Amino acid sequence: MNLAGKDRNRQLVTVGIGTVLTLVMGAVLIAGFRLATQMRANITALQSASVLQTYPATITQQFNALRDRLESRAYSGQALSDLKGTVQHFNTELAKLSDGGAVHSSELEQALLLWHQYEPVINPVVNFNGQPYVESDDAGSSFSKEGRQYYADVKRGQLFAGENQKGLQTQLTSVATQLQTNASDGAARLRELLSAGVLAALVLAAAAAYFQITRSRHERVAQEAQEQTRDILTTVREGFFLLDADYKIGSVWSDALTRMFSRNDFAGLSFEDLLKNLVPANTLATAMKYIKLLWGDRAHENLMKSINPLGQLEISMDNGHGGKETRYLQFDFHRVMGPKGIKHVLCSVGDITSSVLLAKELQESQENANAQLDMMLGMMHVDPLQLTSFLDSTETGLQLINAILKEPARTDGEFRKKLNGLFRELHSIKGEASAMNLMSIAHRVHSLEDMVSELKKKVELSGNDFLPMVLKLDELLAHLRGVREMAGRLTTLKDAVPAAQETPAPVASAPARAKAGGKSGDDLTPTLHALAERLAKDHHKKFKLQMTGLAEVPNAYIATVKDCVIQMLRNSAVHGIEASDVRRAQTKDDVGVVRVDFRKAGDGFELVFEDDGAGISPDQLKAAAVRKQILTEEEASGMDTRAAMALIFRPGFSTQEEVSMDAGRGVGMDVVARSVYALGGKIGVSTNPGKFTRFKIVLPAAEAANSGAAVAV
């Protein structure tokens, strides 16, 4: 800091001396210029005065010549013309001498006064333009009347010029002498000024040399500092640059910035243009608001760092091979303060892609470990036979999905038909996995549903669009094999536990019972109760599930009844049962009720599913159908209540705007209806908005080939 202060003082002294010498040189040059100008005027005036000294004698001589010509009656025009020219030149030169300002003296004033006395005598002569002679045969040439007066004026002028010639000449000689003296004095002063200027120039040259030497030394130091700065900017792995008040990047930045953004035209580039094509528009808008806040005088820098929206920024960059790669950058900002406030904002950018990917990998590993632990804990509460039956049916369903994916298709309509089939199969598998609390399987199937949903949004489909689903399906099949292997180990572990310490396993499900020779559908109740508890917790609802008659479900109907109840139970939890505060406002009990009743009805069976929730509004159904472009405004307005209620069975229809694990796909009730129709049954729905919703499914006594129809009851 002391060295820096000395250098700064030395520079100030040098600059001060240079300024003083420059001012001195300027003053010398200005004074010299003025003296030179004055000398030039004096010399010009001296020349004029020297010429003017000869004019009085010339005027006298020209008057004599003119008189002689008149007396001899000779031609006098030339003599008069010469006199006129001399008088005119004298007037001109004398005016220059008096108006030029080079001399101001009493001699010049006396000369001017005396010349003014000449004018009354000279003017009648020089202004004469008549004929001085007349010709006659007797007398010859004689003066005319005008000529006699003209001759008298000439004699008077001759006498006056002769008498005043010496006086005017003396005055003009005095003026010339004064001008010569002034010119000599000016030359002497100019020599002194030039000497002073030369001396000042020598001193200035010495100061300039000293300053140049000092400057060269400082330039070497500055160049070394610049080279060190350049080495730093070339070596560091972080990107550094400065932002000015217009949010534009300065002319210096680190080389790492080029590697990060694959460009090198940063100078003058605005921060918004730097990120424009790399981040979403909302992220860019938030970043620009944050940058503007940094320039506020009252902004607390530490607090600003805590709300930095660019602490971990995901960008998509060209990988140089025609593709894209994802990078993660970390921006950090520091305000650079100057005497007048914030001068710049220093921005540092770090490529934290490796750290983020490692953190994600660790998180995924942790999540996988937690998922496996949760899966193990969930599987411990599932009967092995029931789990084996689920895995068998799920693998069968996935094989069917694989067959749908492999089925040849050429037109867009054929591809969309495949999507509808995939949706129904996936939804059924997810519902049963969710009911058994096998969430690792349910989440994977849900991600497959997301892929199908995205494909439905595309304008035109091709076979290549289905390839990612094939890979995802292979992952799910591999996961099922892992679950089956884990289930086998758990079964082995349970078999190894002494019988006295074994916890009674839950009763096997109906499909498992069917395979094992069982005969009761009452085994559905633990699964459905577990599903109800999970749905109430996930959707923050309170309701109790009451089930009767499930023990009477024939083995042939157990799978269909289970799928239908699972889907309708999920619909009740999402759409039907209200939140507790809403139910209290409607004078309902805080805890909702969902009833499932299976009973014998004539030659067949009836499954009644009812909840005391919000019910179904036909107007809301029609409005949702219009929003999803399933119906037009005209079709919706002309639709009666019965047709509006039938919308809930239409593929792709849902009143839920956002997709979740349990609703929003518009597939569930479509699957229920198709399952019922496949058995030759019928399904109907009745509702009272704000009171209840009731579904009634009628099944035949034996398998029937006839298809039912959805009706509103």
- pLDDT, tens only, 248-301: 888 888 888 787 777 788 888 888 888 887 778 888 888 888 888 777 766 666
The per-residue pLDDT for 483 is 77
How many C-beta atoms surround the C-beta of residue 130 within 10 A?
10
Give the helix/strand (H/E) hosting 109: helix 106-126
Q: What is the C-alpha R_g of the chain? A: 58
Whether 631 and 607 have beta carbons less than 8 Å apart is answered as: no
The per-residue pLDDT for 708 is 41
Kindly tell me if the per-residue pLDDT of 664 is higher than 70.
no
Q: Extract the tokens encoding 176.
A: 């010339």
d(Cα 37, Cα 35) in Å, to the nearest integer? 5
CA trace torsion 195, 197, 203, 205 (10° rounding)? -120
Q: What is the pLDDT of residues 107-146, one digit of tens each?
A: 778 878 888 888 888 888 888 888 888 887 776 788 888 8
Kindly tell me if the per-residue pLDDT of 595 is higher than 90.
yes
d(Cα 618, Cα 643) in Å, to the nearest integer? 9
Positive or negative, the Cα torsion across 243, 249, 255, 256?
Answer: positive
Domain 510-712 has CATH 3.30.565.10: yes
Nearest to 207 by CA among 74, 14, 47: 14
At how many degrees (to 10) do helices 412-435 and 384-406 cross? 170
The per-residue pLDDT for 506 is 44
- Give the max Cα distance, the chain: 190
Query: Cα 486 from chain centroid?
Result: 53
CA trace torsion 644, 648, 653, 659 (10° rounding)? 130
Q: Categorise residue 602: left if φ over 0, alpha if ψ from -120 to 50, beta otherwise.
A: left
Mean pLDDT to the nearest integer, 529-543? 85
Q: 706 to each of 97, 702, 709, how far by Cα in Å?
A: 136, 12, 10
Percentages helix, strand, coil for the chain, rounded to the nearest 5? Answer: 65, 15, 25
Instruction: Confirm whether pTM is higher than 0.85.
Output: no
Q: Which of 1-5, 293-297, 510-514, 567-571 has the least mean pLDDT?
A: 510-514
Ramachandran angles phi, psi of 274, nearest 5°: -65, -40
Q: What is the pLDDT of residues 1-23, one digit of tens each?
A: 344 555 566 667 667 776 777 77
Give the DSSP letter string of 199-259: HHHHHHHHHHHHHHHHHHHHHHHHHHHHHHHHHHHHH-SSEEEEE-TTSBEEEEE-HHHHH
Positive or negative, the Cα torsion across 376, 381, 387, 390?
Answer: negative
Ramachandran angles phi, psi of 661, nearest 5°: -65, -25
Q: 502 to each of 93, 159, 486, how far by Cα in Å?
A: 142, 166, 19
The per-residue pLDDT for 520 is 47
Residue 276 burial class via C-beta count within 10 angstroms: exposed 0-12, middle 13-18, buried 19 and up: exposed
Kindly tell me if the per-residue pLDDT of 674 is higher than 90.
no
Whether 224 and 244 have beta carbons less than 8 Å apart is answered as: no
d(Cα 214, Cα 17) in Å, to the nearest integer? 14
Kindly tell me if the per-residue pLDDT of 707 is higher than 70.
no
Kindly tell me if the per-residue pLDDT of 508 is higher than 60.
no
Mean pLDDT to the nearest integer, 670-674? 80
Sorted by sequence, the CB contacts under 8 Å of residue 709 that are 6+ apart come out as 677, 682
d(Cα 547, Cα 611) in Å, to the nearest integer? 12
How many C-beta atoms surround the C-beta of residue 249 within 10 A?
21
SS3 of 3-45: the string is HHHHHHHHHHHHHHHHHHHHHHHHHHHHHHHHHHHHHHHHHHH
Q: Categorise residue 260: left if φ over 0, alpha if ψ from -120 to 50, beta otherwise.
A: alpha
Mean pLDDT to the nearest integer, 657-680? 71
Ramachandran angles phi, psi of 697, nearest 5°: -115, 125
Q: What architecture is domain 239-359?
A: 2-Layer Sandwich (3.30)
Kindly tell me if the per-residue pLDDT of 709 is higher than 70.
no
Whether 82 and 146 have beta carbons less than 8 Å apart is answered as: no
Which of 22-31, 128-137, 652-661 holds the top average pLDDT? 128-137
Whether 656 and 648 have beta carbons less than 8 Å apart is answered as: no
Residue count (the chain): 713
CA trace torsion 95, 101, 107, 109 (10° rounding)? 60
Mean pLDDT to the nearest integer, 570-574? 84
Nearest to 556 by CA among 682, 674, 704, 703: 703
Kindly tell me if the per-residue pLDDT of 620 is higher than 80.
yes
Higher pLDDT, 357 or 663: 357
Q: How confident is the model at residue 504 (pLDDT cuts 50, 70, 90)?
A: very low
d(Cα 656, Cα 107) in Å, to the nearest integer? 117
The per-residue pLDDT for 608 is 92
d(Cα 232, Cα 632) in Å, to the nearest integer? 66
Give percent above pLDDT 90 in the chain. 1
Q: How confident is the model at residue 482 (pLDDT cuts 50, 70, 90)?
A: confident
How many C-beta atoms surround the C-beta of residue 703 within 10 A?
11
Q: Which CATH superfamily is domain 374-496 in?
A: HPT domain (1.20.120.160)
Whether 395 and 479 have beta carbons less than 8 Å apart is answered as: no
Give the helix/strand (H/E) hosting 47: helix 2-71
Q: How confident is the model at residue 597 (pLDDT cuts 50, 70, 90)?
A: very high
Whether 483 and 438 have beta carbons less than 8 Å apart is answered as: yes
Sorted by sequence, the CB contacts under 8 Å of residue 4 that are 6+ apart come out as none
Whether 425 and 397 have beta carbons less than 8 Å apart is answered as: yes
Mean pLDDT to the nearest integer, 559-583? 85
Q: Extract the tokens encoding 57.
A: 């004698």
Q: Which of 139-148, 298-307, 576-585, 645-654 has the least mean pLDDT?
A: 298-307
Kindly tell me if the per-residue pLDDT of 215 is higher than 80.
no
Give the helix/strand (H/E) hosting 134: strand 133-136
Kindly tell me if the per-residue pLDDT of 703 is higher than 80.
no
> Could you tell me which residues are beta bridge partners of residue 99?
none
Kindly tell me if the per-residue pLDDT of 229 is higher than 60.
yes
Count of H-run helices and E-run strands, the chain: 21, 13
The per-residue pLDDT for 515 is 39
Q: How confident is the model at residue 373 (pLDDT cuts 50, 70, 90)?
A: low
Cα distance between the two ends of the chain = 93
The per-residue pLDDT for 657 is 61
Kindly tell me if the per-residue pLDDT of 706 is higher than 60.
no
Ramachandran angles phi, psi of 640, nearest 5°: -85, 175
Whether 509 and 526 have beta carbons less than 8 Å apart is answered as: no
Q: How confident is the model at residue 333 (pLDDT cuts 50, 70, 90)?
A: confident
Q: Which of 174-188, 435-449, 574-588, 601-615 has the least mean pLDDT?
A: 435-449
Higher pLDDT, 85 or 139: 85
